[in-house]
Amino acid sequence: MEAQGFRSIDAHQHFWRYNDTDYVWMGPEHEALRRDFLPADLKPLLREAGVDATIAVQARQSLEETRWLLELAEIHPWIAGVVGWVDLRSEQLESQLDELADHSRLKGVRHVVHDEPDVNFVRRPDFRRGIGTLAAYGLTYDLLLFPVHLAPATDLVTELPGQQFVIDHIAKPEIRAGKLAPWEADIREIAKRENVCCKLSGMVTEAKLKSWTYDDFVPYLDIVLDAFSPQRCMIGSDWPVCTLSGDYVGVMGIVQRYVSALSPDERAAVLGDTCRRFYGLRRP
């Protein structure tokens, strides 16, 4: 199927060949993730959930992984795009981007900001300078944040209005505790910037693991959809990380159920059109 024909797109999932060295972020609580997760594992789940295509997102900070994800996308047309990693603080950044520029499936870049010890990491001049180079290459930027990072991120997206950003996992609010403040005020503030979208993803691992209910997520989805509008929201699974708290079909079903009450155009936006537009998905 051609990329323009994709109706339902999972805007956020990962692949990896596991090893102890590269995936140090996996602690004891991530034991179930310490194995390979590859396209052959995901493809039947997409069919079951009614999903046509995906965006593969980096899980380790290396150019090697970015190249590997692009190779997978060339082999599997349903991997419609890749959000990779480059060293945004490097003096060799432009040469890295030049190397990758011919890969049409590279759609964006991400850095694991929420694991940086400095809450104000995105305010660092070298990092901001790196983000400022992406628009010239037609690349988006995924913001991986905790709620505490939303205020610094708002400064970043305000300073770079020509750069397209998307917030991963609705910025990971404290769903387990049912806590809305101060996340709600900060997510509404950043949503005022028209160059920012939001992924409705990663919620089940912020809830009570494997004991959540659909109603746990409704207050958060209400806020995000109201703040951004469906035209700037996109569904994502965060597979295979989501499997720590639910199966693929059930996880995607949360947002699929929520948008069933929206208009046909709004539903189409969340389930595929926003992702297609944001990442510039075109014919292979």
- The domain spans of the chain are 3-279
pLDDT tops 80 at residue 104: yes
Secondary-structure class of domain 3-279 per CATH: alpha beta
Q: Please, which residues have CB within 8 angstroms of residue 109's CB and are 6 or more apart in sequence?
A: 83, 84, 85, 86, 88, 134, 139, 140, 141, 142
Mean pLDDT calculated for residue range 137-157: 97
pLDDT tops 70 at residue 253: yes
pTM for this prediction = 0.95
Residue 6's pLDDT is: 66
Query: Binning pLDDT at 50, 70 and 90, where does residue 4 land?
Result: very low
- Cβ contact 185:154 at 8 Å: no
Calpha distance 199→245 (Å, rounded): 18
How high does pLDDT run on average in the chain?
94
Residue 136's pLDDT is: 96
Residue 70's pLDDT is: 98
Mean pLDDT calculated for residue range 123-150: 96
Give tens-digit pLDDT for 183-195.
999 999 999 999 9
**Structure-model confidence comparison of residues 5 and 208, the more confident one:** 208
Q: Out of 19-23, 174-178, 224-228, 245-249, which region has the weakest mean confidence (pLDDT)?
A: 19-23
**Structure-model confidence comparison of residues 96 and 284, the more confident one:** 96
Mean pLDDT calculated for residue range 98-122: 92
Calpha distance 11→206 (Å, rounded): 18
Residue 95's pLDDT is: 95
**Structure-model confidence comparison of residues 249 and 283, the more confident one:** 249
pLDDT tops 60 at residue 3: no
- Cβ contact 122:163 at 8 Å: no
Calpha distance 166→77 (Å, rounded): 23
**Structure-model confidence comparison of residues 165 and 4, the more confident one:** 165
Calpha distance 7→174 (Å, rounded): 31
Beta strand extents in the chain (DSSP E only): 9-13, 53-57, 79-84, 106-111, 140-143, 165-167, 196-200, 233-235
Q: Out of 23-37, 93-107, 163-177, which region has the weakest mean confidence (pLDDT)?
A: 23-37
Residue located via tokens 């850095």: 111
Residue 283's pLDDT is: 43
Mean pLDDT calculated for residue range 34-41: 96
Query: Binning pLDDT at 50, 70 and 90, where does residue 26 land?
Result: confident
Question: Mean pLDDT: which of 111-115, 121-125, 220-224 is highest?
Answer: 220-224
**In percent, how much of the chain has pLDDT > 90?**
88
Residue 230's pLDDT is: 98
Give tens-digit pLDDT for 67-81.
999 999 999 999 999
